[in-house]
Chain A
Amino acid sequence: MALVLNEEQQMLRDSAKSFIQESSPVGALRKLRDSGEEWSPELWSGMAEMGWTGIAIPEDFGGLEFGYVGAGIVLEECGRTLAASPLLSSSFVCASLLEAVGNEAQKESLLAAIAGGETVFTLALCEGDRFDPTRIATTAAADGDTYVLNGSKKHVLDGDLANTFIVVARLTGDADSEDGLGLFLVDRDTEGLSVSTTLNADNRRVGNLDFESVRVAANAVIGKPGANGAALARALDIGAALSAAELLGVAQESFERTLDYLKDRKQFGVPVASFQALQHRAAQLFCELELCKSCVLKALQAIDQDSPDRSTLVSMAKAKVAKTSKLAVNEAVQMHAGIGMTDEFDIGFFMKRSAAACQEYGDYYFHSDRFAELGGY
Chain B
Amino acid sequence: MPNLEEFRQQTRAWLEESCPASMRNPINSDKDQCWGGRNWVFESDEQRLWLECMAERGWTAPQWPKEYGGGGLSREEAKILKQEMARITARRPLESFGIDMLGPALLKFASEEQKQRYIPEIIRGEIRWCQGYSEPNAGSDLASLQMRAEDKGDHYLVNGSKVWTSYADKSDWIFCLVRTDFDAPKHKGISFLLFDMTSPGVSTNPIKLISGKSPFCETVCENVKVPKENLVGELNKGWDIAKYLLTHEREMIGGFGLSRAGTKTLGQMAVSAIGVADGRLAERGIRTDIADFEIDEMAFALTIERVVDEAKAGQGTGAASSLLKLYGTELNKDRNELLMSIGGSEALAWESEGGETQAQHWLRSKGNSIEGGTSEIQLNIIAKRILGMPG
Across the interface, name the chain B residue whose C-beta is closest to A292. B299
Residue pair A372, B389 in contact (C-beta under 8 Å): no
Interface residues of A (CB under 8 A from B): 2-4, 259, 262-263, 270-271, 273-276, 278-280, 282-284, 286-287, 290-295, 297-298, 316, 319-320, 368-369, 371-373, 375-377
Residue pair A287, B323 in contact (C-beta under 8 Å): yes
Residue pair A4, B294 in contact (C-beta under 8 Å): no
B21 within 8 A of A: no
Sample (27) of A-B pairs whose CB atoms are under 8 Å apart: A3-B305, A3-B306, A3-B309, A4-B309, A271-B390, A273-B391, A274-B391, A275-B391, A279-B379, A279-B380, A279-B383, A283-B378, A290-B323, A291-B303, A294-B303, A295-B302, A320-B295, A320-B299, A369-B291, A371-B291, A371-B294, A372-B267, A372-B288, A372-B294, A376-B268, A376-B271, A377-B280
- From 278 to 318 in chain B, residues with beta carbon under 8 angstroms from any chain A beta carbon are 279-281, 287-288, 290-292, 294-296, 298-300, 302-303, 305-306, 309-310, 312-313, 315, 317
By Cβ-Cβ distance, the 10 closest A-B pairs, closest first, are A274-B391, A279-B383, A377-B267, A294-B302, A283-B382, A291-B299, A372-B291, A3-B306, A283-B379, A294-B303
C-alpha spacing A24/B387, complex, angstroms: 27
Within the complex, the shortest CB–CB distance from A102 to chain B, in Å, comes to 34
Within the complex, the shortest CB–CB distance from B257 to chain A, in Å, comes to 12
Across the interface, name the chain B residue whose C-beta is closest to A256. B387
8 Å CB contact of A316 from B270, B288, B295: B295
Interface residues of B (CB under 8 A from A): 265, 267-268, 270-271, 276, 279-281, 287-288, 290-292, 294-296, 298-300, 302-303, 305-306, 309-310, 312-313, 315, 317, 323, 326-327, 376, 378-380, 382-384, 386-391
Across the interface, name the chain B residue whose C-beta is closest to A313. B298
8 Å CB contact of B309 from A2, A276, A283, A295: A2
Across the interface, name the chain A residue whose C-beta is closest to B376. A280
Across the interface, name the chain A residue whose C-beta is closest to B313. A4
C-alpha spacing A292/B295, complex, angstroms: 11
8 Å CB contact of A319 from B287, B295, B306, B317: B295
C-alpha spacing A280/B384, complex, angstroms: 10
C-alpha spacing A367/B381, complex, angstroms: 33
C-alpha spacing A2/B389, complex, angstroms: 32
C-alpha spacing A376/B389, complex, angstroms: 43
Return chain A residues, CB-CB under 8 Å to B270.
377
Return chain A residues, CB-CB under 8 Å to B383.
276, 279-280, 282-283
C-alpha spacing A276/B388, complex, angstroms: 13
Residue pair B382, A286 in contact (C-beta under 8 Å): yes
8 Å CB contact of B306 from A4, A279, A369, A371: A4
Across the interface, name the chain B residue whose C-beta is closest to A367. B295
C-alpha spacing A320/B299, complex, angstroms: 8
Residue pair B295, A286 in contact (C-beta under 8 Å): no
Assuming the contacts A270-B391, A295-B302, asked whether A4 and B315 have C-beta atoms less than 8 A apart, the reply is: yes
Q: Point out which of A284, A287, A377 has the most chain B C-beta atoms below 10 A from its C-beta.
A: A377
8 Å CB contact of B379 from A263, A280, A369: A280
Within the complex, the shortest CB–CB distance from A357 to chain B, in Å, comes to 18
Residue pair A291, B389 in contact (C-beta under 8 Å): no
Assuming the contacts A4-B313, A279-B380, asked whether A290 and B291 have C-beta atoms less than 8 A apart, the reply is: no
C-alpha spacing A375/B303, complex, angstroms: 20
8 Å CB contact of B281 from A290, A294, A372: A372
Across the interface, name the chain A residue whose C-beta is closest to B380. A279
C-alpha spacing A292/B388, complex, angstroms: 21
C-alpha spacing A377/B289, complex, angstroms: 12
C-alpha spacing A273/B287, complex, angstroms: 38
Return chain A residues, CB-CB under 8 Å to B312.
2
Return chain A residues, CB-CB under 8 Å to B391.
270-271, 273-275, 279
Within the complex, the shortest CB–CB distance from A300 to chain B, in Å, comes to 12
Within the complex, the shortest CB–CB distance from B316 to chain A, in Å, comes to 11
Return chain B residues, CB-CB under 8 Å to A282.
383, 387, 389
Within the complex, the shortest CB–CB distance from A313 to chain B, in Å, comes to 8
Within the complex, the shortest CB–CB distance from B310 to chain A, in Å, comes to 5
8 Å CB contact of B327 from A270, A291, A368: A291
Within the complex, the shortest CB–CB distance from B208 to chain A, in Å, comes to 32
C-alpha spacing A91/B40, complex, angstroms: 67
Residue pair A377, B389 in contact (C-beta under 8 Å): no
Residue pair B310, A4 in contact (C-beta under 8 Å): yes
C-alpha spacing A291/B298, complex, angstroms: 9
Residue pair B387, A297 in contact (C-beta under 8 Å): no
Residue pair A273, B390 in contact (C-beta under 8 Å): yes
C-alpha spacing A371/B386, complex, angstroms: 32
8 Å CB contact of B389 from A3, A263, A287, A295: A263
Return chain B residues, CB-CB under 8 Å to A280.
376, 379-380, 383
8 Å CB contact of A376 from B267, B300, B302, B306: B267
Return chain B residues, CB-CB under 8 Å to A373.
279-280
Return chain A residues, CB-CB under 8 Å to B315.
4
Residue pair A377, B271 in contact (C-beta under 8 Å): yes
Q: Point out which of B271, B291, B294, B384 has the most chain A C-beta atoms below 10 A from its C-beta.
A: B291
Known A-B contacts: A290-B303, A291-B302. Give 5 more (CB < 8 A): A270-B390, A287-B323, A294-B302, A372-B287, A376-B267
Within the complex, the shortest CB–CB distance from B374 to chain A, in Å, comes to 11
Across the interface, name the chain A residue whose C-beta is closest to B300. A291
Return chain A residues, CB-CB under 8 Å to B305.
3, 294
C-alpha spacing A211/B151, complex, angstroms: 92
